[in-house]
Amino acid sequence: MIRQRVPVVLVGLTVLAQIAYPLVSGSARNVLTMVTVALGFAAAVTHAAVTRGVRVAAVLVVVTAGGGLVVEALGTATGFPFGAYAYADSLGSKLLGVPWVIPLAWTMMAWPAWLVAGRLASGWARVAVSGWALASWDLFLDPQMVDAGHWTWSSPGAGLPGVPGIPISNYVGWVLVAVVMSGLLRLFLGEGDAGPVAPMFGFYLWTYASSVLAHVAFFGLPASAAWGALGMGVVALPLAVSLTRTTRPAPMASTR
């Protein structure tokens, strides 16, 4: 059906925007960042709506974009749960001190993370896998965005080796928020997510592989490339292995 191709097209456009990102600079790169996230958000929500229904898409937006806005507003106002940080003015207008694009980014990766976790685990174990699948993406995201000047911590304190300016509390906060979001998705959506998953699986694996490459080859951030490769690889690599498996035909019964 034509409408089921829409998420595929949107994923493709998101990937193209990400490919173009290292090729531009200055304000053009800032605009492209916002366009990329908007396309990724649209891809995730459209995929959820087309393959699983409007209710699922609505729950996804409320839990991840709505929840993302709440937790980011809380974070910038109080320092909990990520640490004391503030956004620059480079990502467009703000709501409650949070650039409008930030809550959309939570949705953009939360949906593929949830579906990927469904491939690898079930029940409440899926919540833990989904939470890690989402939170580990930040091992790439924060170093890249801090390097670009989109946000800063007032007192970063101890961070990961080779990744200055970002406190350990930020990553702990991401795990906490991502697990809570995944738990809410499990609570409201259950396990009923049968439907096409290829575009979201492809996007998750692309995000993993392209982030490793970009941090090494284009951004000059080898330490975050290594941390991200390890952290996000905990989910991405088992997913890739599971997708390479083929079902062997059952042996034919003997007629003797």
Q: Annotate the chain with three-state secondary structure.
A: CHHHHHHHHHHHHHHHHHHHHHHCCHHHHHHHHHHHHHHHHHHHHHHHHHHHCHHHHHHHHHHHHHHHHHHHHHHHHHCCCCCCEEECCCCCCEECCEECHHHHHHHHHHHHHHHHHHHHCCCCHHHHHHHHHHHCCHHHHHHHHHHCCCEEECCCCCCCCCCCCCCHHHHHHHHHHHHHHHHHHHHHHCCCCCCCCHHHHHHHHHHHHHHHHHHHHCCCCHHHHHHHHHHHHHHHHHHHHHHHCCCCCCCCCCCC
Q: How many domains does the chain have?
A: 1
Q: Is residue 4 part of a domain?
A: no
- Residue 227 has what pLDDT? 98
pLDDT of 4 above 90: no
Confidence of residue 195 (pLDDT cuts 50, 70, 90): confident
Q: Is residue 147 part of a domain?
A: yes
Q: Is residue 88 part of a domain?
A: yes
Q: Is residue 172 part of a domain?
A: yes
Confidence of residue 199 (pLDDT cuts 50, 70, 90): very high
Confidence of residue 194 (pLDDT cuts 50, 70, 90): low
Q: Is residue 66 part of a domain?
A: yes
Q: Is residue 53 part of a domain?
A: no
Enclosing domain of residue 92: 60-236
> What pTM, to 2 d.p., does this model score?
0.93
Q: Is residue 127 part of a domain?
A: yes
Average pLDDT, the chain: 92
pLDDT of 228 above 80: yes
Q: Is residue 31 part of a domain?
A: no
- Residue 1 has what pLDDT? 63
pLDDT of 188 above 80: yes
Confidence of residue 253 (pLDDT cuts 50, 70, 90): very low
